A and B are shown apart, each in its own frame.
Chain A
């Protein structure tokens, strides 16, 4: 039986190219059925965005610059959220190098979020509400999560699996760029790039190899994050 090859899925974020437009956030909401919180809940800090754009101000008024830092689940190789789960709801896929969340198994201890330095895990405080016509755009490939479970960015695992299965059926290798998560697809300035780092000819390998601007977010914590950031000019983003 043919086997799926081992992958090292990685996301690259070029901070020089990110304009902070938020297209990735919208695309992610649409693709992954992420519930849209009310204004009141957002004020309480309960907004849910699997990818978010952190905005930091630099300098004093009027000489200020905005710095944008898109943050999604870093799919850490040594993920701190995984060992703390008492029910194996968050597990690692060694083959795909992804950090998976099993919604049905999650009981909602929320320990994973406490131990997650990137704070990219989101808890369903209530049953999700999709108002009006939003109910018609739900993606049938993705489960709608109930109240009381954790969820997070999956690198659009449903697209990855679909692409790999298609390639397997057609007896060919998966082409670079054939699988793109929704955020990468929507990014107008191509600040986000997605691909397999095991393939030396992939776009992401080419762009990130020996790049002086490479850094990983909070690398010093030893979580081995799988998202590669490219430093912006004169950046003071924590390296």
Chain B
């Protein structure tokens, strides 16, 4: 269907024939890319949550802030008395702190995957959700980064893990997977921040142009003088392309290296060669679940109904189902080999999972990660039902958290010499610190949404420019025009 050049995109006339008008109406309802509104109107919708705050926001803000402060106080208490205040013991030397670390690193994977890999693959439903996902990545990674420090026996010496120059020439040991980890995570965090920032430049310029006073100065500095010239758009596109292809291998390496913290050890339950890809898939799985949770909350609280539509939840639902299947495949691989091998310690560990004290964890994990997604996500109706999606995504995250609990404290409880078996009892300090960490991610996230646009409007508008309908026979089919 020809587009009239005289009228702007958002004022295109409705087709004259009633049938075509009905088809067009349907497309506009379903697809964000075929439903353009005036930029001013869309930008108003995006900036609305930044302009006015409800009482609900302040209540949640104070609660989350209080929980974060509680975490900090607990951490100081733990440093003052020693790690003995936690439930950590011999042989479960690592427990909830490392579980949180792996979990939050995992959450941090989906954001980059959605904005980078789906961008490279030109998947259209990523457009309005890429920022929301990237910001999940940045804050989850930053929170994950606190845990290796919280978990140290002498947290105040954490800088000894960094390769800083010192007069005694004592460097950290790159034989240790912990150092590979640190390197990978810092690389990934800095890449993610830059990636999210470059993608945000046009939106920051938009905010600069629509604000006054101090805020104008604030956004002016952050926008780096973005004027929207063709050269700037071209440079931004190039930079984003470079990051897109550079960050995907970094993303894969990060969680592979996190898995090597375990796979490189002799510990039964850890010593596995499939851990690398298994952890990457697990990370994407829980991360995709977390992004769905974030999107549902954003849509409901910030009234982003125009931007976040059924098609986006549908796409994320299919993505989640696919990841659930991939995860099940890798878990089966990881489980089968030791089960078949029947090494004594592995047999004990597996018995604890199937009918021992850890059975409730194991069966909950299998239900949440495999049974529930497979039983529900095949249906488009469920994928587009926000309540159902919220529950499924939440359960996926619970399941993936339990998976890490099984890998870390439960596996550590069993080793070669039965005299040294043990169980990890959860105690209050690490519980408070864990709640505080979740609150920290939420706190930073809601703070971000009040200062920066959570929907990348330029990306949405770009999608609306390149998408048209094309007449094939009697039907109007959405089509995408591809610039070179």
A residues neighboring B (CB under 8 Å):
41, 44-46, 52, 54-56, 69, 71, 80, 82-88, 105-111, 113-115, 117-119, 122-127, 146-150, 218, 221, 223, 238
Contact = CB atoms under 8 A, between A and B. Distances in A.
Interface residues of B, number: 43
A44 B422 CA distance: 9
A84 B153 contact: no
A105 B176 CA distance: 15
Contacts of A107: 152-154, 157-158, 160-161
A83 B93 CA distance: 17
B58 interface: no
B191 interface: no
Contacts of B160: 87, 105, 107
Interface in B121-165: 148, 151-154, 157-158, 160-161
Given A54-B417, A84-B265, A108 B154 contact: yes
A87 B182 CA distance: 13
A148 B178 contact: no
A63 B148 CA distance: 49
Contacts of A46: 84, 89-90
B178 A109 contact: yes
Interface of B: 81-84, 87-91, 93-94, 148, 151-154, 157-158, 160-161, 170, 172-173, 175-179, 182, 261, 264-267, 412, 415-420, 422, 425
Contact of A114 (B81, B265, B417): B265
A122 B420 CA distance: 12
B160 to A, nearest CB: 5
B173 A85 contact: yes
25 contacts: A46-B89, A52-B419, A56-B418, A84-B176, A87-B160, A87-B161, A105-B170, A107-B158, A108-B152, A108-B154, A109-B152, A110-B93, A111-B176, A111-B178, A114-B93, A114-B94, A117-B267, A118-B416, A123-B153, A125-B84, A126-B81, A148-B82, A149-B154, A218-B417, A223-B266
B409 to A, nearest CB: 11
Nearest to A147: B82
A124 B175 contact: no
B173 A45 contact: no
Contact of B170 (A88, A106, A125): A88
Given A105-B160, A114-B265, A115-B267, A149 B178 contact: no
Nearest to B419: A54
Contact of B88 (A105, A115, A118, A125): A125
B175 A83 contact: yes
B415 A110 contact: no
A73 B236 CA distance: 58
A150 to B, nearest CB: 8
Contacts of A238: 416
A107 B91 CA distance: 18
Contacts, number: 139
Given A110-B94, A149-B154, 10 more contacts: A44-B87, A44-B89, A54-B420, A84-B264, A84-B265, A87-B161, A106-B154, A110-B88, A114-B94, A119-B90
A40 to B, nearest CB: 10
A83 B175 CA distance: 5
Max count, chain A CB within 10 A of own CB: residue among B90, B170, B172, B261: B90
Nearest to A41: B84
A53 B233 CA distance: 71
Given A84-B175, A111-B176, A148 B83 contact: yes
Nearest to A52: B419
Contacts of A147: 81-84, 153-154
A119 B415 contact: yes
A148 B89 CA distance: 13
Contacts of B154: 106-108, 146-149
Nearest to B264: A84
B91 A106 contact: no
Contacts of A108: 83, 152-154
A239 B81 CA distance: 41
A88 B170 CA distance: 9
A125 B93 contact: no
Nearest to B425: A44
Contact of A149 (B89, B153, B177, B264): B153
A45 B418 contact: no
Nearest to A218: B416
A142 B16 CA distance: 94
A71 B417 contact: yes
Contacts of B417: 54, 71, 117-119, 218
A238 B418 CA distance: 11
A126 B81 CA distance: 6
A123 B153 CA distance: 9
B90 A122 contact: yes
Contacts of A113: 90-91, 93
Contacts of B148: 109
A221 B176 CA distance: 19
A50 to B, nearest CB: 13
Contacts of B93: 110, 113-114, 123
Contacts of A127: 82
B152 A80 contact: no
A52 B261 CA distance: 28
A113 to B, nearest CB: 5
A106 B177 CA distance: 16
A44 to B, nearest CB: 5
A87 B172 contact: yes
B83 A123 contact: yes
A126 B84 contact: yes
A118 B153 CA distance: 21
A74 to B, nearest CB: 12
A12 to B, nearest CB: 19
Given A87-B172, A107-B161, A56 B83 contact: no
Contacts of A83: 173, 175-176
Nearest to B174: A86
Contacts of B173: 83, 85-88
Max count, chain B CB within 10 A of own CB: residue among A55, A86, A118, A126: A86
Nearest to A111: B178
Contacts of B176: 83-86, 111
Contacts of B82: 124-127, 147-148
Contacts of A122: 90
A147 B84 CA distance: 9
